[in-house]
Each structure stands twice: as C-alpha cells, then as structure tokens.
Structure 1
Amino acid sequence: MSDRKQSTDVLVIGGGMAGLAGALALRENGAQVTLVERAPEFGEVGAGLQMAPNASRVLKRWGLLGKALEIGVRPKHLVFRDAVTGEELTRQTLGSDFEARYGAPYVVIHRSDLHRILLEACQAAGVRLVNDVMVESVETIGGRGIAHTAAGEDYEADVVIGADGLKSTLRSGVAQDSPVPSSYVAYRGTVPVTADTPPADLEDVIVYLGPDCHLVQYPLRKGELLNTVAVFKSASFERGEEQYGGVDELEAAYADCVPAVREALKNLATGIRWPMYDRDPIENWVAGRLVLMGDAAHPMLQYLAQGACQALEDAAVLQDVSLGTVFTDEGVHAAAWDQAIRDFNTMRAARTSRVQRTARIWGESWHVSGLSRTLRNLLFKSRKDGDFQYNDWLYGRDQPGAPADKDNARTVVLSA
C-alpha cells in the first residue's frame, strides 16, 4: 500500500451524472465527500436528455428543479408516429394532470446543462472535486475502502462509490462481464431553431418508429435549439466497426420514411456516431466497501430514456438508506455502511433490472416490420391519451419523492 494516502468519509469514482448525484446526496447527509475523475476537466458529451418525473422529483428534493426549468423545456406532449406513413400512433399529454400524478414535470434538457447544474451544486455543497485521477482498483482493508490510482496515490474512505460508467473498471470486482453490443448506432445533432422549423417540433417530444430505425426530435434551451437523434441498425457495427467513414448507411436506413424524417437527418452531426451498448443485469453491486451505481451497475439502452433518470434514483435511495443509519443525530456510524450499501443494492437491483430488460424489449417493438409493425401500430392506437397504466410502474408512485398514492396503480408494461 502506498504511503501517499488521502482519507475521506466517502470516495466517489467518476464525475458523470451518477457520480455527481451520488456525491451531492451523501454530502447533503453530512458526509465528507471526495470525487475523483479521470479526465483533466469536468464535462459531459452528447446532446439532449429526457428527464421523466422520477428524475425531476429527485432534483426537486435537492432544490435544483428550478435551475433545470430555467434552461430546459417542458414539452406539451410525448408523441409516437409511424416513420413510413407519418400516422400518429399515440400521445401522452404532459400537462397538469401528468405532473400532479407524478409530483414533478417532464423536462427535456441538454446533457451538459444538467451536468453543470449537478457540478455547481456539488461545488456549493463542499464536495472535494479532483481531476486527472485514474483509479485502477479498490480493496477493503480493516473496514475501509482503499482506492489505488495509476499515479501511486491511494484514497481511503469508509465507503467507495463506483460510478465509472458503461466501461467500468471497478465492475470487474463484482462481475466478469462485458458491454453487450445492440447492433444499433445513433447519430445526434442540435441546431438553432429557425423560421422554417415546424412549430410542433418546438412543443413536443416526437418519436418516429420505422423498420430497423427510429428518429426523435424535441426542443432544448428554452426552445432555441432543436435536438435530433437518429438510431438505426448498422451492418458495419454488427461487423465490429464502432465508427464508419460515410453516411450511406444512415441515408439508406431512412430511405422509406416520410419527408419530415428524411429532412430531419440534415440536423445531425455525422462526424461521430454512438454505438449502443448495455450489459446484462446483475444482482450484486457490492464488494466489501465498494458499491456500484449508475451505468457502472446497470447500463441500459436508451429506449425508455431512463439512463440518467435511474442514476438520479440511485443517488436518492443511497441518501435515504444512509440517513438515520450511517448519519444520525448522534454522529457518523461508519460501521453501518455495510448494511446501508446492502440495503441500497437490494432496493435498486430489481428495479433497474426491470428497466434494463424492458428497454431492450421496448426497442425491439419500435423497430419491427411487416405484420409485426401492423400489430404494433394497432396496439399503440388502442391506447388513449391520459391512460397512465403504462407509465405508473416507471415514473412511479413508490419511487423516491413520489406523491402518496391511495389508489392501486397498475403496473402493466406495454412491451412485456
């Protein structure tokens, strides 16, 4: 063990959404928190992000929802259309009834904006933030977690939170697995809104479903930007090529779609594409005093728009299980971490496993063709606006911050 050692109550490894949320949650409980990030500076790549009420409730708990609403957009509807015909299949109004039911609004926001809000909240709360730290391994010695870095400096903490993402180094401590490629890739783009932008694109989240492809559009930054995401099955990715030197695959994937979809492809930045991976769910996220959270624990495909949402849920539950056990009116009881992180793992693993598996099935239903597409469309059209049975399990009344529910909320999944 190195003689160069830094000690803290909580060490968080990873400065993405999950790491920042976890650091903030435990700092609010009174912990001394150090967060280390391998990159030389903090930042978030990508474009738009959908925050369903199960995530915006967590921001509301921390007093950050107002900041998100200042820069984000409250869409009026979530709309699904057939990409080949343009026919509307179903819609969910996201207005007052929706917000009252789930205790918070549906918000779309730029990933970098949400990341900045969480980063500034951590800074204001007194989280110690350190860049250029590559953690190679974590072990538990004498009831404390020891993180060994590439630079030879160790960090010691009562508990270590592994939030190092899809390609987590720390996950090998609990599972010998690898990311699972999905065959699908995404191109993303954000462009300024102009006079030619269709007005409906500035009010709603619109999803076009096509054979082996889909396209999503919604506004960002108070309606000043239009966010577009195109996802399609890629032969080159199936061959093992993460990047591809052309746009012929992209154009061919949407050749049979309506003009509005093909026109939207012009909004994409085609210099880089995003291969889509997840991992198979695992039951155990704990190794000694190391516990995983966020994509390190449960990376998921994007079809339910729940990746960041589930990371925020993780942080809220970790905050709940440690308050009153580890952190009490009598002081900090470090020995209670063993039970707290086991409780966290137990409470979250089944929930996130369901989201991971449903995201896979949901994506399959989006991309069907032939008779399956006809049946899918009929099923979607049978759902009426305001029917919450497909939302309740996910946006949930029994999740962190949800309003009390005296009814028997149905938990049917459309794709299950």
Structure 2
Amino acid sequence: MRAIVVGAGIGGLAATLNLNRAGHEVTLVEQTPRFTEAGAGIQLAPNATRVLRRLDLLGAVAAQAARPSHVSFRTWSDGAEICRYALGHEVEDEFGAPYLQVHRADLQQALAAAVPPESVRLDTPAVGIDQDDGAAYVTTASGERLAADLVVAADGIRSAARQWLFGADEAVFSRTAAYRALLTADDVADLDLPDTGVWLGPGRHFVHYWVRRRELLNIVAVFGTDTATESWTAEAEPGEQLRTFDGWDPRVRGALERTGQVFRWGIYTRAPLARWNVGRVTLLGDSAHAMVPFQAQGAAQAILDAAVLGDCLAGATPAQVPDALDRYVRRRLATATNMQARSARAGEDFHLPDGAEARARNARMAAHAAEHRFMPVATAWAADVLDERATW
C-alpha cells in the first residue's frame, strides 16, 4: 500500500518509520530543502522511548541523550525544595523503558537516518490535499499531483492540512512565552543546580535539564505575556530575561546571566478536535493536538500517534484505509486531548501567585511525592505503556 506523509518533523519521521515497519511504501514530503537543527531540548518519557525501542532506534537516541536521576520542584525566590521525583533507573524498572532528555536535532537526526533516502522528497511544499473514493492526492508547489492510498498530515502547529480538512481554524496563543537557551556544563559548574529543576513562581516558571550527553544544559524560562511571536528563531532583547525574572533565586539568575543567544518563543496550541481524519487523510502530532509543553509530552504524543497509526494500518488493504484511520483516531484522540488539558492545567498551577493558593499547591505536591516515586503525569506513561502491551 502507498502512503504520503506531509512534514518531516518528529511526528512525520516517526510516522514514516512506523508505516514502513507495517510493510507500506511511504513518500515523505518536506517543504524545507534540508533537515536543519531547530529548537533545543526535548524530554522523552517511557511512553515514547518504548516506541523508539520498537523501531530499533533507542540505542542511537540514548547515545546522544542525558539520563536524569531526578526532578526537583523548587520555590522561585529562595530555591527551597518543594518535592522531588525519580527519573532514573526507577522509571526504567517501573515502565520498561528509560526517561531521556535529548536535543531536538539529535532525535530528528536519528529518526531521519533510519528513513530510506529514496523515500524522502525535500524542498517539496504541499499546497493542497484532496481525495476521491479510490485514492488521496497531494499537490506540490511545482504543480505535481502525487497519489497514494492514504495521506498523513504531520505539518505542525500551523497545519494547512487541518484547514483543508476542517475549515478555518487558527493556532491559539496560550498567553505565555519562553526564553530558551543552551549553556555548556562549564558555564554552570558552580551554580549547584539540581539534576533537573522546575522552579515555580508567580506568573512564571523556570525549567532546566541536561541534553547531549550532559554537555549542554537546556533552559526554558516561561512567563505570562499578552503578545509573543510563535518562532524558534526570534531573539529576546538584551537583558530581557533578567528583567522578567528579577528577584528569583541566585541560581536561576546565575544561569540566565550566563546565556549568550536567547530565543523568545511564543507558546501556541490548537483547540481540540472531535476527529482528526476524513476518508483517506488524517492528521498527526501537532497538527492534531498541539499543546503547551508543561508536561513534556508534545513530542511523545506525536511518536505515540505514529506507532498506533502503523499498528492500525498493518495488513490493511487500500479499501480498508478509512476504517483503519477511524481505529487510529479512536485509540489516540482521547489520550492526546486529555494530555492537552493536563498540560494547560499544569501551567496554571505552576504560575499561582504567592499566598494561600501557592502554599496549598506546595503542600499537595509534597504530600504526593511522599507517597509516590513518580510525578502525577506518570499515570499517563503507565496508561500508554499498558495500552501498548495489550494491543501490540
């Protein structure tokens, strides 16, 4: 069976690999002329790394990643620890796969290297998708019309395919933005930072974790704002991050002071959909369920989409594609939509003002950590893993 995947981000690459694994011929079309390094850190929980193992890619990704020991939640002003959770071998023992922290480019490179080169068409913008009873079609900017038995639109948060399928629907600004930067291990050697840290404060939070074999520290400083551009490459004004995080713990300030190039990324989402597919065409990843990153599950959910898509299409004939896509959406839509909502709630919880509400949140977090080794979001890792064991 023939498939076309539109978009060579993490979701599109994972979809290509899983469809190939299911025995289908895949053409991956990507508008950019080359795979380029974009973004910075990504956290991959066991629900994602189990899929990488299934694709025989876990070793390649892990070789470039960092394996955290724990995550520490702290207060913004003095860095007092609220609670901590295990992320190391305890996670792997419990969920059957490791928790990894990787540079986005390293993950993309590992996925891209596994895709047969003859399957990839770079510098090929898609300008239209349509279908009839027997096939689906992608029209390229050059006027070529590519035909296949199904089309997977993994074209990101600004998905044109989503509008072609379901009408006008714009990305939604979350009223938050983030300063993003990478620091070397030497840059922060004297700061006494926890292995992975999440610092909570009024209207802001600060996250740091290691990537690239612990050679680089990824920092993400999130803040509320009325305006921000959704861009990986927009730079902050000099010193802007220090003004925004004025008065924070000296370790946070120390990290922010040592940044060189700082990017200012507006965080956008997409409204939940009642369905992702029409006939022989389906959405996948951010085009279907873009979410705020406050549960570190955006990339993982796209990877899970790809795995379930491949599973549902294994052994399918061209005539069975619409029903197979229905099964894919039934298996994934509720889980991804719930994670969208969970991530949004986490952002609200992280940004509570000082006072009774923040004290109650801290007490609740401490009480949970006293009884559980893993973060509350680990219930989702467990559900995904159990679903995989039951159906794969």
- Fold equivalence (TM over 0.5): yes
Compute the displacement of 1:78 (Å): 1.3
Determine if the alignment matches structure 1 residue 178 to structure 2 residue 163.
no
- Of 116, 133, 153 in structure 1, the residue corresponding to residue 124 of structure 2 is 133
Counterpart-to-counterpart distance in 1, 2:124 and 2:87: 42
Aligned to 2:48: 55
Compute the displacement of 1:249 (Å): 4.5
Q: Is the 8 A contact 1:20 1:122 kept in 2?
A: yes
1:112-123 matches, within 5 Å, as 112-123=105-116
Q: Is the 8 A contact 1:16 1:44 kept in 2?
A: no
Aligned to 1:303: 294
Determine if the alignment matches structure 1 residue 378 to structure 2 residue 363.
yes
Counterpart-to-counterpart distance in 2, 1:279 and 1:249: 28
- Residue 196 of structure 2: SS of its match in structure 1? strand
Determine if the alignment matches structure 1 residue 159 to structure 2 residue 150.
yes
Counterpart-to-counterpart distance in 2, 1:195 and 1:339: 54
Q: CA RMSD in A?
A: 2.2
- Residue 35 of structure 1: SS of its match in structure 2? strand
Compute the displacement of 1:394 (Å): 1.4
Q: Is the 8 A contact 2:180 2:264 kept in 1?
A: yes
| Higher mean C-alpha displacement, 140-149 vs 307-316 | 140-149
Compute the displacement of 1:380 (Å): 1.3
Per the normalisation by structure 2, the TM-score is 0.92
Determine if the alignment matches structure 1 residue 390 to structure 2 residue 390.
no
Aligned to 1:322: 313
Aligned to 1:80: 73
Counterpart-to-counterpart distance in 2, 1:95 and 1:403: 22
1:81-100 matches, within 5 Å, as 81-100=74-93
Counterpart-to-counterpart distance in 2, 1:353 and 1:272: 28
Q: Is the 8 A contact 1:90 1:384 kept in 2?
A: yes
Aligned to 2:209: 218
- Of 106, 131, 144 in structure 1, the residue corresponding to residue 135 of structure 2 is 144
C-alpha distance after superposition, 1:86-105 (max 9, x if no partner): 11111111233321211101
Q: Is the 8 A contact 2:11 2:299 kept in 1?
A: yes
Aligned to 1:68: 61
1:139-288 matches, within 5 Å, as 139-172=130-163, 173-194=165-186, 197-198=189-190, 201=193, 204-237=195-228, 246-247=237-238, 249-270=240-261, 272-288=263-279
Aligned to 2:336: 352
- Residue 372 of structure 1: SS of its match in structure 2? helix
Q: Is the 8 A contact 2:11 2:285 kept in 1?
A: yes
Aligned in 2, Cα 1:267/1:96: closer, same or farther, shift over 3 Å? same
Compute the displacement of 1:231 (Å): 1.2
Compute the displacement of 1:210 (Å): 1.2
C-alpha distance after superposition, 1:120-167 (max 9, x if no partner): 0113xx661011111111111232101112210011010000000000
Aligned in 2, Cα 1:167/1:268: closer, same or farther, shift over 3 Å? farther
Aligned in 2, Cα 1:401/1:66: closer, same or farther, shift over 3 Å? farther
Q: Is the 8 A contact 1:55 1:313 kept in 2?
A: yes
Counterpart-to-counterpart distance in 2, 1:375 and 1:286: 42
Aligned to 1:412: none
Counterpart-to-counterpart distance in 1, 2:360 and 2:39: 34
- Residue 49 of structure 2: SS of its match in structure 1? helix
Aligned in 2, Cα 1:402/1:387: closer, same or farther, shift over 3 Å? farther
Compute the displacement of 1:397 (Å): 3.9
Gaps of 5+ in 1: 1-7, 327-332, 405-416
Compute the displacement of 1:266 (Å): 2.6
Compute the displacement of 1:269 (Å): 4.8
Aligned to 2:29: 36
Aligned in 2, Cα 1:180/1:85: closer, same or farther, shift over 3 Å? same
Aligned to 1:362: 346
- Residue 204 of structure 1: SS of its match in structure 2? coil
Aligned to 2:11: 18
Compute the displacement of 1:198 (Å): 4.3
Counterpart-to-counterpart distance in 1, 2:156 and 2:187: 39
Give, as a single letter, the amino acid of the residue that structure 1 aligns with 2:340.
Answer: Q
Counterpart-to-counterpart distance in 2, 1:205 and 1:79: 6
Aligned to 2:320: 336
Counterpart-to-counterpart distance in 2, 1:9 and 1:374: 56
Compute the displacement of 1:191 (Å): 2.0
Extract structure 1 runs of 4+ deviating beyond 3 A: 198-201, 235-238, 242-245, 267-272, 385-389, 397-404
Identity of aligned residues (%): 35
Q: Is the 8 A contact 2:236 2:263 kept in 1?
A: no
Counterpart-to-counterpart distance in 1, 2:379 and 2:263: 35
Counterpart-to-counterpart distance in 2, 1:195 and 1:301: 28
Q: Is the 8 A contact 2:43 2:296 kept in 1?
A: yes
Q: Is the 8 A contact 1:12 1:36 kept in 2?
A: yes
Gaps of 5+ in 2: none
Aligned in 2, Cα 1:395/1:283: closer, same or farther, shift over 3 Å? same
Give, as a single letter, the amino acid of the residue that structure 2 aligns with 1:22.
Answer: A
Q: Is the 8 A contact 1:316 1:400 kept in 2?
A: no
- Residue 178 of structure 1: SS of its match in structure 2? coil
Give, as a single letter, the amino acid of the residue that structure 2 aligns with 1:185.
Answer: A
